[in-house]
Structure 1
């Protein structure tokens, strides 16, 4: 009988019985380590979910207090996971289950209050706490989604249905954008139901970008700030909105389509958010520390700058392509040689140009080896030393030339390809990366951009590739251009077979023929560091030099930029 009374007494003193009991229980929770804290909170929540009794008015406020106390323990587990990406599989599985299982339990616990009928007397008592309960539910759903992204898993459709329903409820109740502190421990960070919802949605937009666990965690943390710059709208504004979501679907955000209109849809644009990304990037490049911007302690300037540049490129590309329809694709089965980066692509395109010139006798030039000429003048014959040097150079050239890898192409369209990438050799792959592709050794290299990535499994990634040009020309540049010029017309044939031997090089680039609104324009792909609007360069071809002025930016990558050029003069 005594044991029974003790058990009843302990049950009455459950942390969720009243805010006062919750506060006292939380104070004692500080006596144990973070893992034990999480386990004790999880046990309290499980007991609450197993109880069949109707919820009481004080329980929601008590649950909010207990949830607050669990945050430090959850952050400790998250930091342990992020810091050890190569941990043993059984340890990784345990951490995954701990966090995802806890988050799912918290969503269910808050759901017992959130899903009550609006007219019930109990709900009227705790209605002031509903905004925080819904926002925290959305926050936990975002945690579940992020941990799926850590594993490159697809987010369950049920999660999206829950998130859409919770946000819709906050709209109906009229507090979707009301600001408040989500957790008191994060001083200075104000949130709302809309902020938590948009953070979940925007993290999904970069989930297929082949980011590391740490990078994904950083982006999630940064979205705590950037989400305030995004406004969700019921009415579609073509000039402002880039993404949408259907509140009745079991899926996340998508780019705005022509048929994505009507009540189930919500829309938002990312102009202001992108400005925030660019401001952080500007300040870091000017010498500010990540911590001065409110970033985590493990953030380092160089790594943050690289990731911010990637986000700037990717989201800028999303703005530009928000309403671009993809062309029809058909299945194929072939292999492509692939190189990445402007420098590698320049080298291969230049070799293509020289091979093209050699195949045309009327355009080919006699190649003179100055070492052989010197030997003939000194000795009357070509020395063995010179021949060995030439052989070594030829061998080295072959080794340098074979720096490509192979991708399996499974579909193609009018403007691009769908490829399967082995993860082991493609850690560099990101949307916006410049790549070169060819399908046979006798073919020329094509200039392409990697547009989309999607993790297929532990070993493979699917990539969507757009072709910019099948006829690029490698060019070399210098800045000592004349002061006065006459405008000239430039054709692709004028750039054939580049020879920069007589040029004091300050930069390399690719000439890419392009059409804008049906009109042919001259464009260059060059390193970002070589660009400034209006800057004048001399571009060297085999027998001609063109003086050009850099014009409008067409597209920007992390380390490259594509711009129009105006030809000011040309000379032999």
Structure 2
């Protein structure tokens, strides 16, 4: 086994002294222990980035050779991580650190050469290589961000600034669409494609996704990003999304108040068409390459998830454009689970909250909050209710104000035996409503209640949550109900206040184990009998 630091301590040879020496050193690494070989290269990259040697063309070639020499090892360790991260926490931490370090060192290494070029463009030896360097810098910075998502970490503002500057550089120098080969692969990519991939991944709020789902989306976007294009000028009837290069934030869906000096726009339709095309080819058996993760995420589950992407990208619960504010000893009252949330909203609307219902609630401290959700802290003994995907009701514990509803998107361990969790707000003004099959409604309207007992076993009545439309989030009105109650095309009567709506269930927008948020069509409306 080669000990990299042995060479530095003994000053026998410096593996980074020349390209030829680096090549020999890489070839001498033993691949019997891939983790150690990978660590040696990461250590070499760390020393490379710490060096004060001039950033010459040969130094760039050494960095690129270290980059290329690490790719197979990086891929193999990533595969192991995806298979074993859930079953072996100690191995998960070990692999996460070394894989993340590789992305970090390579991103910073390439960015150093870009900064040096911008400081001395006339004297630079590497001007012709700037397109390649910039693509790789965006690629590895995006990889660093993706692995932060695996640990439920949001993109920091300074990382958005770096990404925006790198893409802006490619625009100013006219190579944003120029394709180059990424290290260790045969596929080509461009600055625009790499930039677009991380923008669209971030719009899915990856901290709410499983690790496997994040990996899948990134893989799929490698294929789909080629059809997308960022435009400098807004076309009202075509563009759907935008990014502001002057702000340290991600992308968003265009709304009436969208404005700024450095905006870039795109139409998401070509991407959605690629999603539809991929689904069709997979179902017809014509797209033969696997879309799942071997041993972890089967193809059928992938197809279901792929089908949800179009909805997720268009609802724009996406990129956090609202800043988080740290809470000052504030707490919220919380109820967990769809049945408890509906019961609490029912009683709140009728001003009849009982002691038994209040016993279902708990008070959880707020760590931070924004217009789109909360960061909460709970003790580990309360974590049985804190599962990813769980529907919860939330209201200010001091004011006893209106209930809001949200979904737990991520859960992770915090210090001192506590649990940190993230909640995405789904509605500020949900209402509990009654839904029943049309047959029972017809009996009532025809004053045939005495016959209702005959068909009680065939009649279905349920409580659900109505979520009004939210224009600034691009969310149409929807219903949340037990997932077992959804059947596409089912026609029901929805009773809300003094009106009854005849509705038809159409499709699931999102779902968890016990609930689904669904779209519906309104077929008619009438006043309820007094």
Separation (CA, whole Å) in 2 of partners of 1:60 and 1:168: 22
Unaligned runs of 5+ in 1: 360-398, 482-489
Separation (CA, whole Å) in 1 of partners of 2:289 and 2:439: 39
Query: Which residue number in structure 1 is paired with residue 182 of structure 2?
Result: 182
SS of the residue corresponding to residue 200 of structure 1 reads helix
**2:426 equivalent among 462, 465, 471:** 465
Query: Which residue number in structure 1 is paired with residue 259 of structure 2?
Result: 261
Give 1:279 deviation, angstroms.
Answer: 4.2
Give 1:183 deviation, angstroms.
Answer: 3.5
* Bigger Cα Rg: 1
- The 8 Å contact of residues 277 and 308 in structure 1, kept in 2 or not, is answered as yes
SS of the residue corresponding to residue 96 of structure 1 reads helix
- The 8 Å contact of residues 49 and 108 in structure 1, kept in 2 or not, is answered as yes
Separation (CA, whole Å) in 2 of partners of 1:404 and 1:279: 46
Query: Which residue number in structure 2 is paired with residue 485 of structure 1?
Result: none
SS of the residue corresponding to residue 450 of structure 1 reads strand
Q: Are 2:182 and 1:223 aligned?
A: no
- The 8 Å contact of residues 337 and 439 in structure 1, kept in 2 or not, is answered as no
Give 1:148 deviation, angstroms.
Answer: 1.6
Query: Which residue number in structure 1 is paired with residue 289 of structure 2?
Result: 292
Aligned length: 483
Query: Which residue number in structure 2 is paired with residue 57 of structure 1?
Result: 57
SS of the residue corresponding to residue 502 of structure 1 reads helix
Cα pair distance change 1:509/1:116, threshold 3 Å: same
Query: Which residue number in structure 1 is paired with residue 435 of structure 2?
Result: 474
Separation (CA, whole Å) in 2 of partners of 1:181 and 1:250: 28
Q: Are 2:115 and 1:115 aligned?
A: yes
Separation (CA, whole Å) in 2 of partners of 1:514 and 1:42: 51
- The 8 Å contact of residues 366 and 374 in structure 2, kept in 1 or not, is answered as yes
Separation (CA, whole Å) in 2 of partners of 1:324 and 1:141: 21
SS of the residue corresponding to residue 77 of structure 2 reads helix
Query: Which residue number in structure 1 is paired with residue 18 of structure 2?
Result: 17
Give 1:170 deviation, angstroms.
Answer: 1.0
Separation (CA, whole Å) in 2 of partners of 1:499 and 1:350: 29
SS of the residue corresponding to residue 223 of structure 1 reads helix
Query: Which residue number in structure 1 is paired with residue 406 of structure 2?
Result: 450
Give 1:473 deviation, angstroms.
Answer: 1.0
Give 1:475 deviation, angstroms.
Answer: 1.0
- The 8 Å contact of residues 477 and 507 in structure 1, kept in 2 or not, is answered as no
Cα pair distance change 1:78/1:53, threshold 3 Å: same
Separation (CA, whole Å) in 1 of partners of 2:421 and 2:47: 42
Moved more, 448-457 or 30-39: 448-457
Give 1:174 deviation, angstroms.
Answer: 0.7
SS of the residue corresponding to residue 461 of structure 1 reads strand
Query: Which residue number in structure 1 is paired with residue 172 of structure 2?
Result: 172
Give 1:138 deviation, angstroms.
Answer: 1.1
Cα pair distance change 1:216/1:312, threshold 3 Å: same
SS of the residue corresponding to residue 337 of structure 2 reads strand
SS of the residue corresponding to residue 252 of structure 1 reads coil
Cα deviation 1:359-407 (Å, max 9, x = unaligned)? 9xxxxxxxxxxxxxxxxxxxxxxxxxxxxxxxxxxxxxxx9x9997657
Cα pair distance change 1:213/1:291, threshold 3 Å: farther
- The 8 Å contact of residues 478 and 505 in structure 1, kept in 2 or not, is answered as yes
Separation (CA, whole Å) in 1 of partners of 2:156 and 2:465: 45
Cα deviation 1:419-478 (Å, max 9, x = unaligned)? 848593466545xx87678999xx9x98x7637957686423242130564251131357
Separation (CA, whole Å) in 1 of partners of 2:235 and 2:219: 29
Give 1:207 deviation, angstroms.
Answer: 3.9
**What's the TM-score once normalised by structure 2's chain length?**
0.69
Cα pair distance change 1:183/1:335, threshold 3 Å: same
Q: Are 2:134 and 1:137 aligned?
A: no
Separation (CA, whole Å) in 2 of partners of 1:23 and 1:279: 43
**1:563 equivalent among 513, 520, 523:** 520
Q: Are 2:484 and 1:530 aligned?
A: no
Cα deviation 1:168-191 (Å, max 9, x = unaligned)? 111111111122332453x4x331
Query: Which residue number in structure 1 is paired with residue 4 of structure 2?
Result: none
Separation (CA, whole Å) in 2 of partners of 1:210 and 1:49: 34
Separation (CA, whole Å) in 1 of partners of 2:254 and 2:198: 18
Give 1:193 deviation, angstroms.
Answer: 0.8
Query: Which residue number in structure 2 is paired with residue 550 of structure 1?
Result: 504
Separation (CA, whole Å) in 2 of partners of 1:141 and 1:476: 53
Q: Are 2:458 and 1:504 aligned?
A: yes
RMSD between superposed Cα atoms in Å: 5.5
- The 8 Å contact of residues 107 and 140 in structure 1, kept in 2 or not, is answered as yes
Cα pair distance change 1:451/1:172, threshold 3 Å: farther
Cα pair distance change 1:511/1:243, threshold 3 Å: closer
Give 1:202 deviation, angstroms.
Answer: 2.4
Cα pair distance change 1:476/1:167, threshold 3 Å: same
Separation (CA, whole Å) in 2 of partners of 1:152 and 1:120: 39
Alignment of 1:143-292 (within 5 A): 143-185=143-185, 187=186, 189-207=187-205, 209-256=207-254, 260-281=258-279, 286=283, 288=285, 292=289
Separation (CA, whole Å) in 2 of partners of 1:283 and 1:405: 48
Separation (CA, whole Å) in 2 of partners of 1:152 and 1:182: 27
Give 1:315 deviation, angstroms.
Answer: 1.8
Query: Which residue number in structure 2 is paired with residue 424 of structure 1?
Result: 383
- The 8 Å contact of residues 339 and 345 in structure 1, kept in 2 or not, is answered as yes
Give 1:21 deviation, angstroms.
Answer: 6.4
SS of the residue corresponding to residue 264 of structure 2 reads strand
Alignment of 1:299-378 (within 5 A): 299-318=297-316, 333-340=331-338, 344=339
- The 8 Å contact of residues 522 and 564 in structure 1, kept in 2 or not, is answered as no
Give 1:324 deviation, angstroms.
Answer: 12
Separation (CA, whole Å) in 1 of partners of 2:363 and 2:285: 40
Give 1:556 deviation, angstroms.
Answer: 3.0
SS of the residue corresponding to residue 465 of structure 1 reads strand
Give 1:293 deviation, angstroms.
Answer: 5.0
